[in-house]
């Protein structure tokens, strides 16, 4: 039967929690967030431990390829059996499908679609949600997309679409198209229809999004600070636009800035110097951070606002590490919108027969996903 209570979820490649924040606001209770980056895990712990409504959520700092959902010490307490979990979600690595990542697709060792599919086969969640860059919709990846869908259909899921969603349609003050795959177990769609969110034509501009924090940064510096704020606000309001796409960058590169040359030009038109990041307000160097010829630089917190994070979600780590967490994140408002659409199906009248289909064998295309030591739940006594 339908339920208004929390729906359970496990998320892989959780990063700084952008998708998790959105799904949480859509009514999902995370059992675990799996992430390999130590800085992102510190961010997740900081927030999970200091927000009472996240009680019980485990932050698992590990390579997802090494996580057995039925035997991992942080997961065994949940006593999960196939079919128990409501949602398996994850923003699997984007470089295999992005221009910057050379678009090697399934040939890229960073591709974690196979692992996501393997976990779906083990856990048999009621729904699967996978986020990636717009580039995965390119025709060159069509055969791979078809095999991904076929694999999940073999587990009893119905294809709901590879939807291209523009974040600015959901109140995110940024141009950020993302592709989202949703598949839901067929029995849950017998009496309900999955409807993709439609968003809005009304955008949130950079001026609207950053006015409060920019004023807070400038106020301590009196008339000179006010002049900086006024000049910035005038330019930002004149453009009346959202921000260009934030780019998180790679650990292989140096300090963070706000993107390639074209993005820097767009930021300059918005009154922001995009050549680096400002220090946090408490450690502000006003000559470096605010009083620049091309306008103030943004703080990491302001970049997080551009990404759609709420201000009470604290990022942990050095400036560059925190910015990379922000730049690589899935905007929470988009995750929330899709999460609500999934929740509407799962909370509707349930299926008459909830028996799982027999567990199919891993197809040849994705056989490499089966890491040694991860047990088949049908033979593991779970």
Rounded-to-integer distance, Cα 140 and Cα 315, Å: 36
Catalytic residue status for 41:
no
Read out DSSP for 123-182? H--SEEEEEEEGGGGSGGGHHHHHHHHHHHHHTTEEEEEEEEEEGGGGT-SB--EEEEEE
Dihedral Cα 72, 325, 94, 332, nearest 10 deg: 90
E strand residue ranges, the chain: 7-12, 28-35, 58-61, 87-90, 127-133, 157-166, 177-185
Rounded Cα–Cα distance for residues 74 and 159 (Å): 31
Catalytic residue, from 94, 160, 218, 284: name it.
Answer: 94
* First CA to last CA distance, the chain: 24
Give the burial class of 11: count Cβ atoms within 10 A of its Cβ; 0-12 exposed, 13-18 middle, 19 or more buried: buried
Find, among 92, 76, 91, the residue nearest to 32 by Cα. 76
- 291 CB neighbour count, 10 Å cutoff: 16
Backbone angles phi, psi at 88, to 5 degrees: -110, 120
Among candidates 10, 347, 353, which has minimal Cα distance to 156? Answer: 353
Tokens of 229: 């704020």
* Dihedral, CA of residue 80, residue 83, residue 84 and residue 85, to nearest 10: 100
| Separation between Cα atoms, residue 12 and residue 33, nearest integer Å | 6
Bridge partners, 132 (sequence order): 179
Question: 129: which strand partners?
Answer: 89, 182
Partners of residue 166 on adjacent β-strands: 177
Catalogue the active-site residues.
94
């Amino acid at each position: 039967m339908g339920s208004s209570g929390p729906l359970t979820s496990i998320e892989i490649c959780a990063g700084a929690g952008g998708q998790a924040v959105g799904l949480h606001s859509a009514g999902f209770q995370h059992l675990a967030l799996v992430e390999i980056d130590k800085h992102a895990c510190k961010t997740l712990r900081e927030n999970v431990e200091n927000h009472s409504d996240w009680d019980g959520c485990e932050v698992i700092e590990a390579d997802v390829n090494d996580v057995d959902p039925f035997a991992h010490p942080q997961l065994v307490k949940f006593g999960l059996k196939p079919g128990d979990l409501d949602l398996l979600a994850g923003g699997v690595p984007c470089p295999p499908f992005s221009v910057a990542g050379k678009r090697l697709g399934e040939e890229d060792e960073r591709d974690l679609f196979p692992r996501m599919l393997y976990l779906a086969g083990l856990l048999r969640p009621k729904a699967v949600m996978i986020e990636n860059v717009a580039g995965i919709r390119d025709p060159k990846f069509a055969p791979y997309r078809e095999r991904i869908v076929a694999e999940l259909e073999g587990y009893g899921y119905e294809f709901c679409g590879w939807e291209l969603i523009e974040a600015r349609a959901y109140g995110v003050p940024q141009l950020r198209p993302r592709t989202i795959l949703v598949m839901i177990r067929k029995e849950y769609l017998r009496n309900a229809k999955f409807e993709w969110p439609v968003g809005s034509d009304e955008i949130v501009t950079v001026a609207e999004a950053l006015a409060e924090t920019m004023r807070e940064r400038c106020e301590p510096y009196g008339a000179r600070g006010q002049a900086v704020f006024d000049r910035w606000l005038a330019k930002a309001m004149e453009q009346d636009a959202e921000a260009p796409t934030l780019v998180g960058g790679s650990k292989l590169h140096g300090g963070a800035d706000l993107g390639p040359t074209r993005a820097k030009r767009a930021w300059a038109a918005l009154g922001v110097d995009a050549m680096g990041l400002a220090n946090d307000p408490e450690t502000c160097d006003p000559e470096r951070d605010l009083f620049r010829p091309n306008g103030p630089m943004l703080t990491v917190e302001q970049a997080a606002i551009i990404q759609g994070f709420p201000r009470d979600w604290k990022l942990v780590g050095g400036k560059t590490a925190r910015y990379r967490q922000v730049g690589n994140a899935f905007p929470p408002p988009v995750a929330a919108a899709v999460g609500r659409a999934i929740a509407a199906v799962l909370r509707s009248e349930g299926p008459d027969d909830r028996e799982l289909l027999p567990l199919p064998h891993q197809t040849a295309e994705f056989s490499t996903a089966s890491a040694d030591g991860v047990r088949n739940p049908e033979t593991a006594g779970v």
